[in-house]
A = this chain, B = another copy of it.
Amino acid sequence: MRTHYCGTITSAQIDEEVTLYGWVDRRRDHGGVIFLDMRDREGIVQVVFDPDTEEHFQRADRVRSEYVLEIKGRVRARSDATINPNMLTGEIEILGKKLEILNSAATPPFQLDQHIEVGEDVRLKYRYIDLRRPEMLEKLKLRSRVTSSIRRFMDENGFLDIETPILTKATPEGARDYLVPSRTHEGKFFALPQSPQLFKQLLMVSGMDRYYQIAKCFRDEDLRADRQPEFTQIDIETSFMNDQQIMAITERMIQGLFKEVLDVDLGDFPHMPYAEAMSRFGSDKPDLRIPLELVDVDDLMRQVDFKVFNGPANDAKGRVAALKVTGGAQISRKQIDGYTKFVSIYGAKGLAWIKINDITAGIEGLQSPILKFMPEDIITQMMARLAVTDGDIVFFGADKTSIVNEALGALRVKVGEDQGLIKGDWAPLWVVDFPMFEENSEGNLTSLHHPFTAPACSPEALEKNPEQALSIAYDMVLNGTELGGGSVRIHQADMQQAVFRVLGISDEEAQEKFGFLLDALKYGAPPHGGLAFGLDRLVMLMTGAKSIRDVIAFPKTQSAACVMTDAPGLADNKQLRELNIRLREKPKAE
């Protein structure tokens, strides 16, 4: 048996005999002596074989990169000249006495330190080699520590770990379902769950009181950089707790996690209403590390004779907002052109700006293509409101509120990053008081969260003024990323039906799709609520990973394929026949 992991041996083990297992990271021949860097999960240690140990020296001479070895030897101090302060094991080395080659290795398709050059496709095809890289190993190790810490917290707080089905029924959660044809029920299909939402609510109706699960969820969507067809959710539900209590306990969980795994003290999380977040940051997941804010100037712009501004300022669904960047006057015209292009992604038709060169010089001290459209007193009032000083720049957004928020919200983050304005490492917060509904592109109301979210009003008030209704929902945000979200759920059938009516879901449709939930609400459903965290995103944030694929052992590509196993693959006709399906033939090209 191994006595130590390679990476853990220090001066404390000097003169000890050790047995190691691992891979040859590097082999060097130097002055008649062979140096092997032995690597395992915990790091690297240097092993030296000299010609005294003839048989083993010869074997050491034969080994190549990625050979798998068993090594026995004695730990000794390195000479002062050869100490490597960059390695944890850099003060010692192993004087090798025995070497067994447990397996040889063909020349790998890429060297671990050349992973950047080969491109991600090769790395994904040989994932088992790519995962040997210490950075990758560390990410998966940290992920394991994260789930372990969360599970311990959940256990200690009386949450039961309960599994919910993977083969289940389609429920319209917005995204496309993965379907699984049933062999025994001809022409019917299971759906893979987009979340365990309904099951966890039913567990509350069952009296489980406190439930959690680290659950696989599935969405058949077109993938973006931070999405995967299967992803993992830390899923939590509890009975008899209100929103404040649910937020408090999950906040403690995340605080404890960061303390334990990263030794970071997150402090108390501020609470911010959705309306305030949108108004000040143009986002419902603001990155509070960036000290930039949107400021409303609609009242001023109503008075200017410039349609681009006074149009949205006079429109109830429009907004004119300013974003002051301290010290931003140095931003070049070329950069501003870049930002103008950037905000156009979000639908903004332009990006007005004013540079403040000398505030004491009044309008003469300002520089901007739009000054000519504005009365001087308006400019003066605006500059006062924004509390500008010399060297600042102010950007403007003027459009439909949603476009201004998205464009300036994104610009705020981009400029903050570009200008190095980010303050501190971690900025958590709760966003609360979400609207129940939002208008979709067809002008119909849809749930902002999901239709099981409890409103903060009576069924009557909800149906009378659905646009005004707030929900008892909450999102946990960290550094501009939504870590998790949840809500108190509807626990009474009449409220659930009122919500369905607002959403234009007929009683019949509701009964067909959610009949079992509506039934359950009638048979003694307790008040309940919960939360779900995206584990992949949480681990990305904690490890600083740039891609979600870096925190998943065997991820899919952006076209939802696994290039290592070559999945998905063909099915044979016998299988398809058993499943009562056939492939759709393509219409022939003419």
Contacts and interface: CB of A to CB of B under 8 A. Distances in A.
Contact of A207 (B41, B209, B229): B41
B553 A162 contact: yes
Interface residues of A, number: 118
Contacts of A166: 166, 192, 216, 218, 230
A183 B187 contact: no
A185 to B, nearest CB: 5
A183 B220 contact: yes
Interface in A252-310: none
Interface in A124-156: 126-129, 131-132, 137, 140-141, 143-144, 147-148, 151, 155
A387 interface: no
Contact of A169 (B218, B492, B569, B583): B569
A144 B251 CA distance: 23
A333 interface: no
A567 B191 contact: yes
A203 interface: yes
B178 A565 contact: no
B131 A553 contact: no
A167 B180 CA distance: 11
A41 to B, nearest CB: 4
B559 A185 contact: yes
Given A553-B199, A568-B169, A523 B218 contact: no
Contact of A128 (B163, B190, B205, B570): B205
A567 B166 CA distance: 11
B167 A178 contact: yes
A239 interface: yes
Given A167-B556, A216-B163, A523-B105, A571 B208 contact: no
Nearest to A241: B1
A541 interface: no
Nearest to A217: B166
Interface string A183-211: 11101111110000011001101111100
A581 B578 contact: no
B567 A167 contact: yes
A427 interface: no
A587 to B, nearest CB: 12
Interface in A148-180: 148, 151, 155, 160-170, 176-180
A68 interface: yes
A559 B184 contact: yes
Nearest to A19: B240
A181 interface: yes
A72 interface: no
A366 interface: no
Given A167-B229, A167-B567, A571-B179, A584 B582 contact: yes
A575 interface: yes
A192 B180 contact: yes
A140 B524 contact: no
Contacts of A209: 5, 40-41
A272 to B, nearest CB: 25
A525 interface: yes
A160 B144 contact: yes
A518 to B, nearest CB: 11
Given A137-B208, A167-B568, 12 more contacts: A23-B526, A41-B208, A103-B491, A131-B207, A140-B160, A166-B216, A166-B218, A167-B218, A167-B229, A169-B565, A580-B583, A581-B584
16 contacts: A103-B525, A108-B523, A129-B523, A131-B203, A137-B208, A167-B178, A167-B230, A168-B562, A169-B568, A176-B575, A183-B560, A188-B570, A189-B568, A191-B567, A199-B553, A199-B554
